[in-house]
Structure 1
C-alpha cells in the first residue's frame, strides 16, 4: 500500500469505529466526536504527541471557559456582549498563526456555542461545555489509537525513491496581514452571533457550528478559490448525506449504518489523501456529511425525521452562503477603503 492508501484506510476505519462507539452509546452531542476524529485523522501528519494534544485541549478549554463566562454574566447584556465577543474573536483569529492545528476552530466553537445553549438554561451551557470537552478527548484518543494500529510504516517504501523530507513550516504572515484576516473573520463571526442572539435561534445552532468552522480559518478565508471550495464542500457533503439518509430510511439497521458509513468514508478518504487542490473541498464535505448524519440519525417518526433532516441541510447551506457573502462584502469594503487611501495619498503627494 502507498502512504496515501494507508492514511485513507486509517481515516475511514477510525471514523467508522468512532461512529460505532458514539452512536451506540449516544451521550449528549455524541455526533461531534466522529467529526473531531475526522478532522484529526485528515491531517497529513503522524501522531502529534500528547504534549501537542494537551495544548489543543487547553485551547478548547479556554474557549469553553470564555463561553461560560459570557453565558453566565454577559449574554443578556447585548451592549456589553457584542463588543466583548468582537475582542475575543479578534484575539483568537489574530493569534491563529501561532496556535496548534485546528485550535482556532475549537476555540471559536467553544466561545460561540456555549452561550447560545445558555440562552435556554445556564445548566445546559455547563453540560454542553463538558460534553464538547469529552468529544474532543475522544477524538484525540481515536487519533492516537489508529496511528498506533495503522502507522505510516505500513506503507510500502520504494528503496530507490528519495528519502522523504519534512515539509517546511508555513511562513507566519506579517502583522498587517494577520490583522486584516482577523478583522474579516471577527466581523463575520460577530455578525453571526448578533443575528443568532437577537432572534434567539437556539434551534438553528447547527448553522452556528458550521459558521464557527468556516470563520475559524482566518489564514485562508479571504481567498475566492477557498470560498468556491467551501461551496463545493456543502454540495458534496449534502449530496452524500441525502443518499445515506434515504438508504438508512430503507434499511434502518445499526450494522447497515456502519457499513454505509465506512463505504462513504472510504470514498471521501481517498479523495482527501490524493493531495490535489480539490482535497480541501472533499475534507470539508466529509465534515459536513458527518455533522448532518450525526444530527439527523435520531429517533422519531419518519416524516418528522425527514423534515428535520432537510432543515439541517438548509442550515448548513445558509451558514456557507452567509460566510461567503459576508467575506465578499467585507473584503470589498476593505480593498475599496485601501484604494481610496492610496488615491488620497497620491493626491497629497502631487499637491506637494
Structure 2
C-alpha cells in the first residue's frame, strides 16, 4: 500500500525527481522495522546536506571543473564509508544521489541545480511521511522480529577490533570509489544526453560495492538488475498497450503486492526481491515521469546506458576482487 500511494503521488503530481520517492519508500519497508526518531534525524540531516550542495553548486563551483570533481569524489567516499553502517543507509543514499546529480545539473543548467535539490528533498520527506503513515494505520507486530532476522545487529566493537573495522570500512570505500569514479568523471566531461537517470542508477548500485565479498555481491547485483530491467520493459510495453493512468496504478499495485509478499514470506531472500523491485522502480519510474515525447526512444536508450554502466561496475568489481584474492594467496 505504501509503495502504491507513493506511486500515485509521484506519477500523478510529477515534480522534479518524483520517481525516486517510491524507491525510497520500498527501501524503508525492506530495511527498517518502523519509523523512529533516528529516521527523522537522518532525513533532516540528509535534507540539510542536499540544500547545501545545491546552494554551493548554484554559486559558481561548476566554473572550476577539477575542484568540482575533487569535491564530488570526496563526498562519494564519505557516502561509501557511511553506507557500511546500517544506521546511515538512507542518509548515504540521499547523499550519493545528490552529490552525483545536483553538480551535474549545475554544469548543464546552473539555474536548475537548486530545483533538483528541492525535488530530492520533497521525495525524501514524502517517503518518510508515507512510511510513518502506513505503520500508523497498519501496524505490524511481527515486523521487528522479521527485520532483526534479515538485518542482525552486530555487537559493539572496541579496541583493536574497532580499529580493524574502521580500516576495513575505509578500504571498502576506497575500492568502491576507484571502481565508480572513472565512469562518473566520463559523464561529467562529455555531458552525455540523458545521463541523470544513469548516474542515479550508478550511485545506488555502486553503494553496494562498498560492502565486503564483492564477487558474490557483483553476481547478485547482476541478477537483480537484469531481472529488474526485464520487468521494467514488460511493464512499459503493457503501459504502451493500455495508456491509462488507473491501469498504470493497478499494474504497479500488482507488482508491489507480489514483491511485498515475497519479501515478507521469504525473509532470507528479501534482499534479492528488494533489489529487483528497486531496479524496476528506478528504470520504469524515471521514464514515465519524464516529459519526453519520444518516450520509446528515450526508454530503450536509457536502458542501454544503464546496462552498460552496470556491466562496467560489475566487471571492474570482479577484476578488483580477483586481483586482491590472487595477491592475498601469493602473500601467504
> TM (normalized to structure 2)?
0.86
Equivalent in 10, 26, 34 of residue 38 of structure 1: 26
In structure 2, the CA distance between the partners of 1:249 and 1:279, relative to structure 1 (3 Å rule), is: same
- Please list, as runs of the form range in 1=range in 2, the aligned pairs for 1:173-322 lying within 5 A after superposition: 174-220=165-211, 222-275=213-266, 277-297=268-288, 298=290, 304-322=294-312
1:135 maps to 2:123: yes
Aligned to 2:78: 91
1:196 Cα deviation from its structure 2 partner:
0.8
1:166 Cα deviation from its structure 2 partner:
5.2
1:267 Cα deviation from its structure 2 partner:
1.5
8 A Cα contact 2:225 2:279, kept in partner: yes
Superposed CA RMSD in Å reads: 2.7
8 A Cα contact 1:71 1:118, kept in partner: yes
Aligned to 2:319: 329
Q: For 2:147 and 2:62, how far apart are their aligned partners in 1?
A: 49
8 A Cα contact 1:85 1:190, kept in partner: no
8 A Cα contact 1:57 1:136, kept in partner: no
1:113 Cα deviation from its structure 2 partner:
0.8
1:188 Cα deviation from its structure 2 partner:
2.5
Name the SS of the counterpart of 2:301 in structure 1: helix
8 A Cα contact 2:106 2:113, kept in partner: yes
- Please list, as runs of the form range in 1=range in 2, the aligned pairs for 1:16-95 lying within 5 A after superposition: 16-43=4-31, 45-66=32-53, 68-70=55-57, 72-95=59-82
8 A Cα contact 2:43 2:124, kept in partner: no
Q: For 1:323 and 1:226, how far apart are their aligned partners in 2?
A: 12
1:165 Cα deviation from its structure 2 partner:
10
Q: For 1:265 and 1:184, how far apart are their aligned partners in 2?
A: 34
1:48 Cα deviation from its structure 2 partner:
2.4
Gaps of 5+ in 2: 158-163
1:274 Cα deviation from its structure 2 partner:
3.5
Q: Deviations over 1:125-155 (max 9, x none)?
A: 1100011001000000000001111111389
Q: Deviations over 1:291-339 (max 9, x none)?
A: 22222225565xx222211122222222321211232233345455656
1:149 maps to 2:137: yes
8 A Cα contact 2:77 2:173, kept in partner: yes
In structure 2, the CA distance between the partners of 1:281 and 1:83, relative to structure 1 (3 Å rule), is: same
More deviation in 146-155 or 238-247? 146-155
In structure 2, the CA distance between the partners of 1:113 and 1:153, relative to structure 1 (3 Å rule), is: same
In structure 2, the CA distance between the partners of 1:107 and 1:300, relative to structure 1 (3 Å rule), is: closer
Q: For 2:223 and 2:147, how far apart are their aligned partners in 1?
A: 32
Q: For 1:151 and 1:232, how far apart are their aligned partners in 2?
A: 32
Gaps of 5+ in 1: 1-12, 156-162, 344-352
In structure 2, the CA distance between the partners of 1:235 and 1:115, relative to structure 1 (3 Å rule), is: same
> TM (normalized to structure 1)?
0.81
Q: Deviations over 1:67-110 (max 9, x none)?
A: 54256443343332333333222233223344423221211111
8 A Cα contact 1:97 1:219, kept in partner: yes
8 A Cα contact 1:68 1:115, kept in partner: no
8 A Cα contact 2:146 2:267, kept in partner: no
Q: For 1:64 and 1:191, how far apart are their aligned partners in 2?
A: 26
8 A Cα contact 2:214 2:318, kept in partner: no
8 A Cα contact 2:229 2:303, kept in partner: yes
Report the structure number with the largest CA radius of gyration.
1
Report how many aligned residue pairs link the two structures. Answer: 320
1:281 Cα deviation from its structure 2 partner:
2.4
Name the SS of the counterpart of 1:181 in structure 2: helix
More deviation in 255-264 or 27-36? 27-36
